[in-house]
Amino acid sequence: MAERVRVDARGAYCPGPLMELIAALRLVPVGEEVEVWSSDKGSAADIPEWIKKARHELVGVEPREAYWSIVVRKAR
């Protein structure tokens, strides 16, 4: 597996982190993971919801000191 792509969207407000994640997901092959860092509280809840709706796989959501790490595996 290639090294996980990381999107640093800290400081961006909704829906910035989601849009950055989607743009990154388009560029990786199916099966690869993308990690997004978001300091936006709403995005920490909304991004997993989008992942479910878009039928990708949520690998994990982890609160860090002042942001969330959300990891998604591209499923299709």
- Residue 36: name the closest of 55, 57, 56, 19 by CA: 19
- Under 8 Å between Cβ of 44 and 61: yes
Residue type at 72 in one-letter notation: V
Closer residue to other proteins in complex, CB, 3/53: 53
The least distance separating other proteins from the CB of residue 35, rounded to whole angstroms, comes to: 19
- Residue 21: name the closest of 59, 76, 70 by CA: 70
Give the bridge partners for 34, in sequence order.
Answer: 5, 72
For residues 7 to 36, the per-residue mask of contacts with other proteins, x marking binding by CB under 8 A and - elsewhere, is ----xxxxxx-xx--xx--x----------
The least distance separating other proteins from the CB of residue 70, rounded to whole angstroms, comes to: 15
Asked whether position 48 contacts other proteins by CB under 8 A, the answer is: no
- Residues forming contacts to other proteins in the complex (CB under 8 A) are 11-16, 18-19, 22-23, 26, 50, 53-54
